[in-house]
Amino acid sequence: MRFPRASVLLFLFAGLAICLAQDPPTQALMDEFEGPIRSVSSASIYANLHWIQPSGPTLVTPLWCRDCEYDRTGTRTKLGEVQEGRFHGQNILLTYDANGRVKDRFVTDAASGVLQEHDVMGPFGKLEETTYVNGKFQWRSVFSYDEHGHMNDRQNFAKGRPEGESRILMDADGNLLNRSEYDKNHDLRRVGENPIDLDGERREVDFILGAGGFAVAVWRQLYRKGRGRHLRELCLSQ
């Protein structure tokens, strides 16, 4: 059976789109929950442990969400903690598009009902984030993503004026390659690179720039596979 050339091209492009971008992990999955989940309530006991490695106690994973609820897509609708029978935290109202994807997130304080944040959502995450303090507008951030669904740009605004921008470059697997941060005058203020060598060693180098674009400080961090961060230093330029 032969297909028209236009049909073959359409199939190729559709397949390419599927390969390039995948759905991001849900908030429930990022909270370490597998499969469908509606709500979670946890209890914790604090103990005076001495965190000594490598032979001391090991923290498997922190307790990110003490009392949370999720919708059918795995998106949080409640985030906080119950103390003395009262919930303290945030209630999150979600709206959906025609395909059932989350379109907007309205985050309110659970006690007062005051709006704290409004997020406009896209297929890979936030497209816009508007933050409020005591119900009053404070700032707005706009996000964009690469063809793999990784965030590659964030622009911040206050009262309609630019306040800074972060540009991020990742590989197809989501490993950070480099990032650049600009101030409200669009002057470069920080640049970092995170190459990974073949032995699983990752070096992070951040250059903090002053007036004229000259480095005033350099952060250096070194990670090794299975050992975590084992070197961190701040070097001030002369």
Long-range contacts from 163-168, C-beta under 8 angstroms, 24+ separation? 163/139
Instruction: Measure the CA–CA gap between 191 and 169, rounded to whole angstroms.
Output: 11
User: Contact, 192 vs 171, CB < 8 A?
Assistant: no
Q: In sequence order, what DSSP letters do the residues of 42-60 get, joined into one string? A: -----------TTTS----
pTM comes to: 0.66
Q: Identify the pLDDT of residue 29.
A: 77
State the number of CA atoms in the 13 A half-sphere of 54 facing the CB. Answer: 3
Q: Identify the pLDDT of residue 12.
A: 36
Q: Identify the pLDDT of residue 9.
A: 38
Assign residue 20 a region (left: φ > 0; alpha: ψ between -120 and 50; beta: otherwise). alpha
Instruction: Measure the CA–CA gap between 169 and 178, rounded to whole angstroms.
Output: 5
User: Contact, 184 vs 163, CB < 8 A?
Assistant: yes
Given the structure tokens 């596979």, which residue do they identify? Answer: 225
Q: In sequence order, what DSSP letters do the residues of 134-201 get, joined into one string? A: TTEEEEEEEEEE-TTS-EEEEEEEETTEEEEEEEEEE-TT--EEEEEEE-TT--EEEEEE--B-TTS-
Low-confidence ranges of the chain (pLDDT < 50): 1-20, 198, 227, 229-230, 238
Side chain identity at residue 14, one-letter code: A
- Residue whose C-alpha is closest to residue 130's, from 104, 164, 150, 168: 104
Given the structure tokens 């070096």, which residue do they identify? Answer: 203
Q: Identify the pLDDT of residue 187.
A: 81
